[in-house]
Structure 1
Amino acid sequence: MELPEKWWLSFEDSTLNEIVRQALDSNLNLITALKRYEAAQAVVDRESSSLFPQVSGFVQSAFSRPEPDFVGGENVQFGLRASYEVDLWGRIRAQIDAEEYRATAAYNDMKAAAISLSAEITTIWYRLEAAAVQLQILQQQAETNQKILKLIRARFGSGQIRAVDILRQQQLVESTLQQQYAVETLLALLKNQLAVLLGETPQNIQEPELDSLPSLPPLPQTGIPAELITRRPDVQASFSALKAADRELAAAISNQYPRLTLNTNLSFRSNNFQNLFDNYAYSLAGNLLAPIFYGGQLSAEVDRTEAVKDQRFYEYGQTVLVAFREVEDALVQENKQKEIIEALTQQVKLADKVSRQLRVEYFNGLSDYLAVLTALNQEQQLRRDLITARLNLLEFRISLYRALAGGFEIRGETEEEPVN
């Protein structure tokens, strides 16, 4: 099975689909990541302006006393000034490229945040369902324990049951109620977590309708390692950071070379506004500025940017290795968890048989109640453990989807990714 773009659709849960969609639209952390990308894109536009001349206009009007130069003493000036740096060594272009790569990294960081958000939402949703199922099981077990307690008390009057057996069963009843209260607390806390991820206050979230844990979807194709590298946004963000550092190094090296700047000035001057355009002057100049002695500042900046580039290179390599490990970990965990569930299922069946058989023997006077209590407690715990194991299996699958990084649209995303 190929990995779907919106991987959570594979669970075929309409409620889950809706809350993930709402989270991708309303989660405040994701909106923050979007604004961070927009800010990075604005920096690209700002740096790109260096490729064009910087033009400014001025108007000046003044009166002078006494009047040596102009009749009436009025001085009016209007003009334009322009400057342009010729990108001889590619320094400006390298700086622009560096900011473009940073914007691409911010874009991929936003996508990584969206993948993490969808995985967190899905995990909390199924933890909610697992807690709801656990609560149902505990309520059923509490009823069973109460019934057994009534049977024991009914036989106590005839002298067939010891008082300590009643106390032990009462203790089991109270223990079941205590676990029920703990699960109810967990349910409330999970709902609060879900509300925050949806960009809502806990008071505004509606009570989710919970049924049971879903079946595991078919295993997706993991593809080849090269596909994983191109698909995971955190890997792409790290690679973009590496390329940005490389372009910063190029800019630092170019900064050691001379700069050529062209300046032009056009001005009109008159003693009144009516004759303003009769007299004008213009100038065109070229300035060549070459660094001679900066006390090692420029070479130190080259060394710094080169070290940063090396740092980004090793960070990228580490990110790739972690990506491979996360996929392999999720696959191993899922396969072993399936075996654990099979073993737990068999234990539940056997524990149920043992518990029923010991209860029959006990009420017939053939067994001690401590053995009955131990078997009953073990059987009930195994049933709860089985739900937890099924939840863990779902979480391992969610981890696999997250590691494979299925693509999907997020709030404010355009149809095409940034182009470097």
Structure 2
Amino acid sequence: MKQIGIVMIGLVLGGCSMHEQALNSKQILPSAYSTEVAQEENEISPQWWEKFNIDPLNALVEEALVNNHDILMAYERLEQARTQVRIAEANVLPFALTAQTSARGVNADGVSTRSEASSLSLNVAYEVDFWGKVAAQTRMAQTSYMASQYDLDTLRLSLSASVVEYYLRLAALQKRVTLAKENVQIAQQLLTIVTHKEAEGLATQVDINRQNSSLLQNTVALVALQSQAKQTANALALLVGKAPQEFEVPLVSFDEITPLRVGSGIPSELLVRRPDIASMMAKLKNAEDAIIVASAQRFPSFKLTGNTGLASTALLSLSNPLTSVLEGVLAYTLFDGGNIKEALNAARSRGNEALLAYEKTILTALKEVEDALLDQALSTQQLALQEEILALEKTTLAQSTLLYQEGVSDYATLLDAQRSFYQAQDQRATQLLSLLNATVTLHKVLGGGWEK
């Protein structure tokens, strides 16, 4: 009779099984990027920064991936997610409860006595997953763990790129500081020339005052660049997980750093190349299972007891399985004040939100790649033009200095040539940094060699 009752439960409630629609994205990816990329460019390797061939930079990246506090906290979050997977997986296994009792009493004379009698009981139970709730909860823990892993990979990728960017910025600032020092020296030399000219009656005090002002302005610019370099080094120390006071950065010559070249592939490859997209997909799957769990709350849960019977906290009795189950279902659906229904609606809404977030992440990734490709192309052109400008300004300064010393040209022409040459040098360093940063950003937005 008991077996018949169990079969009846399956027959009656089988029609109540849930058919939740999967949250599938209808996002259509373009076939190619708008900005063309040269065919000879290379694919990205997981340790892409090593292609710069800068040993101090390689050491800093590896140190940051081990000691950065955000990375360490992400590892802790990953361990917490792994623990939740173990807990969820344990819930699908039978569990046993034991109880032991002993007694202590008082006799007729009021003397305390100890009873050696004790009892031990063992109860074993196993939840029957009629509605797929337990399985969905297990998958939720697993997808949460996967999302945490992908979030960690995203953070590692972002951290690597940040270390490279700050190192390149610091090298560029060192170059600009050197240029600023040279410009101060040139201004000092010109001040000496103007002073001699004034003594010979070939210049005025106004010329001396103007050159003194130029010297002071160049000195102020130098101090500002030195301050920027120190702050950049401090930021790099934080990324590496060290105190700024004990941090030293061995820098290579900025002029020796060559921009990397990389192939962008096709847009659809981003789905498997970017860990942030993989994370959003895992969270989307998690939301789907959350809907299943919320939907299962409409129905009672059952456990197999140690004597192979059925037990349910939702039902008062299973002496009549068919009647009891039907009453339990009605109690769930009619007399819960609508809480379960609204919880299911909320879960579905969160699922739709997760789907939209997933699609937005894809669109954002496409935008970031397009921006990086365009930035790289424009920065390459601008650097080439700036190098032509620098060559012209260098020639102009040399000619202006010679003409002024010979008395053929006036001081204003020389001062203008000096300023233009320094600005061209400084702008060339800035433009090279922009190109380097564009290539670093492109590596990052393409996934940095990561694959799902």
Please tell me whether the aligned partners of residues 63 and 75 of structure 1 are also in contact (alpha carbons under 8 angstroms). Answer: no
Establish whether residue 386 from structure 1 lines up as the match of residue 439 from structure 2: no
Query: Does 1:58 pair with 2:99?
Result: yes
Partner of 1:192: 234
Q: Which residue identity lines up with residue 221 of structure 2 in the other structure?
A: Q
CA RMSD of the aligned region, Å? 2.0
- With over 3 angstroms needed to count, the CA separation of the structure-2 counterparts of 1:407 and 1:60, relative to structure 1, is farther
Shift of 1:235: 0.4
Distance 1:63 1:356 in 2: 108
On the 8 A contact 1:64/1:74 being kept in 2, the answer is no
Are residue 34 (structure 1) and residue 75 (structure 2) matched?
A: yes
Paired-residue identity, %: 26
1:5, distance to aligned residue in structure 2 (A): 1.5
| Structure 1 unaligned blocks of 5 or more | 265-282, 410-416
Give the drift of 1:213.
4.1
Which is further off, 58-67 or 293-302?
58-67
Q: Does 1:110 align with 2:163?
A: no
1:87 positional shift:
0.6
- Structure 2: distance between partners of 1:221 and 1:352: 36
Q: Deviations over 1:67-124 (max 9, x none)?
A: 9xxxx96531112122221111110110111111111111000000001100110000
Opposite residue 111 of structure 1, the aligned amino acid is: D
- List per-residue Cα deviations over 1:347-392 (Å, max 9, x = no partner): 1122222233333333333333222212211221111011001001
What is the CA-CA distance between 1:55 and the residue it aligns to? 0.7
Other-structure match for 2:87: 46
Match of 1:141? 183
**AA paired with 1:337?**
S
Aligned to 2:310: 286
Q: What does 1:262-273 align with in structure 2 at a 5 Å threshold?
A: 262-264=304-306
Report the equivalent of 2:15. none
In structure 2, distance between residues paired with 1:107 and 1:407: 16
TM-score normalised by length of structure 1: 0.88
Q: CA deviation at 1:395?
A: 0.5
Match of 1:324 in 2: 366
- What is the TM-score with the length of structure 2 in the denominator? 0.82
Q: What does residue 349 of structure 2 align with?
A: 307
Report the Cα offset of residue 41 of structure 1: 1.2
Question: Is residue 95–residue 126 contact of structure 2 (8 Å, CA) maintained in 1?
Answer: yes
Q: 1:272 matched to which residue of 2?
A: none
| Pair 1:79 & 2:103 matched | no
- Give the deviation of 1:33 after TM superposition: 0.7
Change (3 A) 1:407 1:62: farther
Go from structure 1 to structure 2 and tell me whether the alpha carbon gap of 1:313 and 1:365 turns closer, same or farther (over 3 Å shift).
same
Residues 111 and 213 of structure 1: CA distance in aligned 2, closer, same or farther (over 3 Å): farther
Q: Which residue of 1 aligns with 2:161?
A: 119
Assess if the C-alpha contact under 8 Å between 1:64 and 1:75 holds in 2. Answer: no
Could you say if the C-alpha distance between residues 213 and 92 of structure 1 is closer, same or farther in structure 2, counting changes exceeding 3 Å?
Answer: farther
**1:395 equivalent among 433, 437, 449:** 437
Map 1:101-250 → 2, pairs under 5 A: 101-250=143-292
Q: Is the 8 A contact 2:94 2:124 kept in 1?
A: yes
Kindly indicate whether the alpha-carbon contact (under 8 Å) linking 1:132 and 1:210 is maintained by their aligned counterparts in 2: no
Change (3 A) 1:8 1:145: same
Q: How many residues align?
A: 389
Report the 3-state secondary structure (helix = DSSP H, G, I; strand = E; otherwise coil) of the residue aligned with 1:51: coil
1:374 maps to 416
Aligned partners of 2:259 and 2:435 also within 8 Å: no
The residue identity in structure 1 corresponding to 2:80 is: A
Deviation at 1:156? 1.4
Specify the alignment match of 1:361 in structure 2.
Answer: 403
Segments of structure 2 that go 5 or more residues without pairing to the other structure are 1-41, 109-113, 315-327
Contact 1:4 1:10 in 2 (8 A): no
Q: Distance in 2 between matches of 1:337 and 1:406?
A: 21
- Helix, strand or coil at the partner of 2:202: coil
Asked whether the 8 Å contact 1:129–1:213 carries over to 2, the reply is no
Given the alignment of the two structures, is residue 5 of structure 1 paired with residue 46 of structure 2, yes or no? yes
Deviates more, 1:166-175 or 1:216-225: 216-225
> Deviation at 1:66?
6.2
Report the Cα distance in structure 2 between the residues aligned to 1:86 and 1:66, rounded to whole angstroms.
49
* Contact 1:149–1:166 (CA under 8 A) maintained in structure 2: yes
> Could you report, residue by residue, the CA deviation over 1:262-293 in whole angstroms, capped at 9, with x for unpaired residues?
233xxxxxxxxxxxxxxxxxx66422433412
Does the CA-based 8 Å contact 2:102-2:115 persist in structure 1? no
**CA contact 2:260–2:436 (8 Å) conserved in 1:** no
Mapped to 1, the partners of 2:251 and 2:424 lie a distance apart of 26
Contact in 2 for aligned 1:248/1:305 (Cα 8 Å): yes
Is 202-211 or 41-50 further displaced after alignment? 202-211
Measure the CA separation in 2 of the matches of 1:203 and 1:355.
Answer: 41
DSSP-derived class of the 1:60 partner: strand
